[in-house]
A and B are shown apart, each in its own frame.
Chain A
């Protein structure tokens, strides 16, 4: 077992607005000629991984980049629709780095690290410059300047977008840069590889073990540092808006090697998704939150009102967000929008065949702006909705319901993005640092690119220059040991030969997770989850069925390995939620609400990061604490009224 981590956040001294610039100056540099001698492994090719691998390649490091898809361009960042925030203040509406910082800390319900968030806000402006320089076709005004839209949780217009494809366009920018480095020989690309374990040599992360998803070969890779950019774990709920291959396995295996996992219970349930229709669904579809700019959310005032929406007169509609939160209206942050939707549906006022949906109505907007403008703004989203549901949103209100979407929790990292294992860094959604207990819309893309383009190139250099890692190759005995463990793990799964599929177990877990560790959580429910999950795990190890061969393209084997980790992670999420008896951001404990039913934080006892430290199979992990100091944004009641 590794040494107990101290959770030293390594926040630089000085005023918040100076911390990053002084830190950049104080960090050690790697001589340009020496960069070539350092090997870096980057796992994942989304916005964080793609931009990190490209930037490190540009600097001259020898980079090895890994992804599970057939091409780096398919990483799930591609699916982000709405936009990316930046404190450009192009709209002259009072935006500033400090305001973005403030909004993000407040939006995160005072559970994020101030210094990280400020740095994120600082570099946000560089990201837009960088992406425009790469040829990302952002939306423009008639004068040729960049267009902005507003997003939940902000009173300024600071979101840049490229139709409903912002994620894909930003990712193509990063992917293009990555492919340029591949062509120049600085980055070696390994697609269709799944990282299954981390290799630690002399206490430092020095390599990874992968399974080649085509040949089934177990492969070993060595480097001076490992960057984990593997995204989040929303798929633990089975039904989520994430891609079906999104998984926490790489991060989870690192956790098992000693990287502390922070705030696993902070998950975001996105308010504007297409409601669930049945048991056979494989995923939920997100409709960009930008829809709330022009759409009005409502439900009938009367319970069980099953008239068609167009037959319900204005006076009998409850625009509950607008009445309850007059200042922000339909643009309240995601957690609030989601929880309110659940509340009205639980009251029996939900709509649609399942009763678990609310209307998002564009009638007024179409009347005010015309169909053309609405179609220009949301055309592709409307088309997608029409296709999936069979309803035309130009004619009848959309129906939406919240769905798991993003996970704020992740591997604990310090200010330099290094986990509690030396040489192992976590970037983007895979880490925990910037969004606290709730992420604001259009901030995920910002964080992924900030970490990859503008943070890691500096902090990794500092690590390498300081640590001067000694030469290690895959010949080191540690590589063989870990590879052997991975191989044995796979064989163990293959040997079960039962009759339950990995998906069936995953669905079972997902149901418990969404019911007990979803939008609202109670002590009772969480305890129930902690009882149920081990039973599912037992079934998994007793009755799992994987046909086929390990030395082949074998999707069922891939899924089984991931479901095994989902079971562990789900349990940890429940445990973390149980140990946080307050409501904050995406984590709503029913025991902790005020008279009006709003979330009630417990700043006195719980204003900290909870990072879980693995203690070996079968043992309870240790809960470590990093206190959070709010020097600049004083925790206040997060009111959007």
Chain B
């Protein structure tokens, strides 16, 4: 099969960008979307042109490195998967596909489709953990955890930090990412000690990074490769409120 592509090209953070037309021919429908881009790049490189810069690593939907906005939807229209998990059989021969980077002020563009998501790391550094040093833990089975709670924690912990929630949000909000991390620890006994300060500190850093506020559009949940529920955002707000009252 063949497809036409409109890909966002931008040489650097301050350079002007635009959509550039390409055509990729002879695609195997079993190929992944990124393998199709690999093919395009190989042709470009052989012509001595600069390939389209995009990121990917594990190519099995877990590292969170890949992330493209395909035809206006982060990680494409299929839902519940990352860009690298998209297969070309989802498209029709002759389709025109627009590919853009994740756009947000907090994710400054590096080149073409590559953006800098280190804002997430800085948010995590403000409380996305249980502060326990190596070597000081008690036996793991001393503290039983209700299976349902462990599952709920796992649901929230499934986040891969890809940033699609931010990319898809009409406000470029990071609420789903932050909400999921805060929620995970509320379900676990280990997370209780820092429960309040975690919510306040992570939210503060989120605001500081320049993400937008949340308007409950729930686009984030729709594009989340791990289908993390916006109930986590609701939970973040409860945690935040509780922490506010507990502190004052």
- A and B physically associate: yes
Collect the chain A residues with CB atoms within 8 Å of residue B76's CB. none
Task: Evaluate whether A387 and B111 lie within 8 angstroms (CB atoms) in the complex, with A58-B133, A79-B62 already known.
Answer: no
Bound-complex Cα distance A167 to B160 (A):
12
B246 close to chain A: CB less than 8 A: no
**Contact of B59 with A283 in the complex, beta carbons under 8 Å:** yes
For the complex, give the distance between the alpha carbons of A281 and B110 in Å.
Answer: 27
Kindly list chain B residues whose C-beta atoms are within 8 Å of the C-beta of A243.
57-59, 63
Known: A137-B184, A243-B63. A556 touches B45 (CB 8 A): yes
* Cβ-defined contact, B128 with A176, below 8 A: yes
B16 at the interface (CB under 8 A from A): no
Pick out which of these stretches binds chain A: B81-89, B168-176, B214-222: B81-89
Partner of B185, one of A54, A73, A135, A180: A135
- Given A169-B157, A501-B45, answer yes or no on A180-B131 (Cβ-Cβ < 8 Å): yes
Is the pair B85, A387 in contact by a Cβ cutoff of 8 Å? yes
- Chain A residues contacting B136 (CB-CB under 8 Å) are 133
A244 to B38, CA, bound (A): 12
List which B92-138 residues lie within 8 A (CB) of chain A: 110-111, 114, 116-118, 120-121, 124-126, 128-138
Q: Please tell me if the beta carbons of A172 and B34 are within 8 angstroms of each other in the complex.
A: no
Q: Is the CB of A143 within 8 A of B50?
A: no
Q: Which of B137, B147, B190 contacts A141 (CB 8 A)?
A: B147
Tell me which residues across on chain A come within 8 A of B63, comparing CB atoms: 69, 74, 76, 78-79, 243
User: A457–B134 contact, CB under 8 A?
Assistant: yes
- When distances are taken between beta carbons in the complex, the residues of chain B under 8 Å from A140 are 144-147, 150-151
For residue A158, CB closer than 8 A to chain B, the reply is no
52-71 of chain B: CB within 8 A of chain A: 53, 55-65
User: Complex formed: what's the CA distance from A285 to B85 in Å?
Assistant: 11
Known A384-B61, A499-B46, A552-B111; contact A453-B134, beta-carbon cutoff 8 A: yes
Partner of B114, one of A138, A162, A175, A553: A553
CB of A5, distance to nearest CB on chain B (Å): 30
| Interface assignment of A388: CB less than 8 Å from any CB of chain B | yes
Chain A residue at minimal CB-CB distance from B31: A280
Q: Tell yes or no: A293 within 8 A of B by CB.
A: no
Check if B213 is an interface residue, CB within 8 A of chain A.
no
Q: Give Cα A516 to B184, complex, Å.
A: 47
Indicate whether A639 reaches chain B with its CB closer than 8 angstroms.
no
Q: Which residue of A51, A132, A278 is within 8 Å of B190 (Cβ)?
A: A132
Interchain CB contact under 8 A, B137 and A133: yes
Q: Is A334 interfacial (CB-CB < 8 Å)? A: no
Give per-residue flags for A60-76: 1 if the beta carbon is below 8 A from chain B beta carbons, else 0: 00000000011111101
A137-B157, A172-B157, A281-B35 known; A130 and B137 CB under 8 Å?
Answer: yes
B137 touches A244 (CB 8 A): no
With a CB–CB cut-off of 8 A, which chain B residues contact A76? 57-58, 63
| A58 touching B134, Cβ below 8 Å | yes
Which B148-192 residues sit within 8 Å CB-CB of chain A?
A: 150-151, 153-154, 157-158, 160-161, 184-185, 187-188, 190-191
In Å, the complex CA distance between A125 and B144 comes to: 17
State A172–B31 Cα separation when bound (angstroms).
Answer: 30
Q: A69-B57, A134-B130 are in contact. Are A78 and B62 (CB under 8 A)?
A: yes
Known: A168-B62, A243-B57, A244-B59. A137 touches B191 (CB 8 A): no
Separation of A72 and B121 alpha carbons in the complex (Å): 8
Among A177, A244, A286, A555, the residue within 8 A (CB) of B51 is A555
A556 touches B190 (CB 8 A): no
* Chain A contacts for B130, CB-based, 8 A: 133-135, 176
Closest-CB distance, B59 to chain A (whole angstroms): 5
B87 → chain A, closest Cβ, in Å?
7
> On chain A, which size bracket covers the interface?
35 or more
State whether B51 touches A547 (Cβ < 8 A): yes
Contact A548/B50 with A69-B57, A501-B42 known, Cβ cut-off 8 Å: yes
Chain B residue with the shortest CB-CB distance to A387: B85
Residue pair B141, A553 in contact (C-beta under 8 Å): no
Q: B117 is contacted by which of A70, A162, A172, A387 (Cβ under 8 Å)? A: A70
Tell me if A144 is interfacial: C-beta within 8 Å of chain B: yes
Contact (Cβ within 8 A) B64 A163: no
Taken together as a complex, chains A and B put the C-alpha atoms of A468 and B29 apart, in Å, by 60
CB of A34 within 8 Å of the partner chain:
no
Residues of B within 8 A of A390 (CB): 87, 89
Mark each residue of chain A from 271 to 307: 1 if its CB lies under 8 Å from any CB of chain B, else 0: 0000001101111011000000000000000000000
A163–B64 Cα distance when bound, in Å, is 17
- Decide: A71 and B120 in contact? CB cutoff 8 A: yes
Q: A282 to B65, alpha carbons, bound, how many Å?
A: 16
Give the complex CA separation of A72 and B57 in angstroms: 13
Q: Closest approach, in angstroms, between the C-beta of A66 and any C-beta of chain B?
A: 14
Q: Is B32 an interface residue (CB 8 A)?
A: yes
Inter-subunit contact B137/A126 (CB<8 Å): yes
Q: List residues of chain A with CB within 8 A of the CB of B30.
A: 277-278
Q: Does B248 contact A (CB under 8 A)?
A: no
Which residues of chain B are near A143, meaning CB under 8 Å? 144
Nearest B residue to A58, CB-CB:
B133
Q: Is the CB of B126 within 8 A of A137?
A: no
* B180 CB to nearest chain A CB (Å): 11
A145 and B132 contact, CB distance less than 8 A: no
Q: How far is the CA of A373 from the CA of B112 in the complex (A)?
A: 45
- Asked if A154 is an interface residue, CB under 8 A from chain B, the answer is no
CB-based nearest A residue for B61: A384
Q: Out of B32, B62, B110, B117, which one reaches A282, CB within 8 Å?
A: B32
Please name all residues of chain B whose beta carbon is closer than 8 Å to the beta carbon of A504 when the two chains form the complex. 42
Contact (Cβ within 8 A) A165 B185: no
Q: How far is the CB of A470 from chain B (nearest CB, A)?
A: 29
Please judge, given known A-B contacts A133-B132, A553-B110, whether A384 and B60 are in contact too, CB under 8 Å.
Answer: yes
B-facing residues in A113-144 (Cβ within 8 Å) = 126, 128-135, 137-144
0/1 string, A141-163, CB within 8 A of B gives 1:
11111100000000000000011
What's the nearest-Cβ distance from chain A to residue B13, in Å? 10
Instruction: Determine how close the nearest CB of chain A comes to the CB of B109; give it in whole angstroms.
Output: 11
A183 near B60 with CB under 8 A, answer no
Residues of A within 8 A of B144 (CB): 140, 143-145
Residues of B at under 8 Å CB distance from A? 12, 28, 30-32, 34-35, 38-39, 42, 44-46, 48-51, 53, 55-65, 81, 85, 87, 89, 110-111, 114, 116-118, 120-121, 124-126, 128-141, 143-147, 150-151, 153-154, 157-158, 160-161, 184-185, 187-188, 190-191
Can you name 12 A-B pairs with beta carbons within 8 Å? A51-B134, A131-B140, A132-B143, A135-B191, A137-B150, A138-B140, A140-B150, A144-B144, A145-B141, A179-B128, A283-B59, A501-B42
- Using CB atoms and an 8 Å cutoff, list the residues of chain A in contact with chain B: 51, 54-55, 58, 69-74, 76, 78-79, 88, 90, 126, 128-135, 137-146, 162-163, 165, 167-169, 172-173, 175-177, 179-180, 182-183, 189, 191, 214, 243-245, 277-278, 280-283, 285-286, 384, 387-388, 390, 453-454, 457, 499, 501, 503-504, 545-548, 552-553, 555-556
Extra pairs beyond A283-B60, A501-B45 (19, CB < 8 Å): A70-B65, A70-B116, A70-B117, A71-B64, A73-B161, A78-B63, A78-B160, A131-B140, A134-B129, A134-B190, A137-B151, A137-B188, A140-B144, A182-B121, A243-B59, A282-B38, A384-B85, A457-B135, A547-B51
* 7 closest Cβ pairs, A-B complex: A144-B144, A176-B129, A133-B137, A129-B137, A179-B125, A137-B153, A183-B125
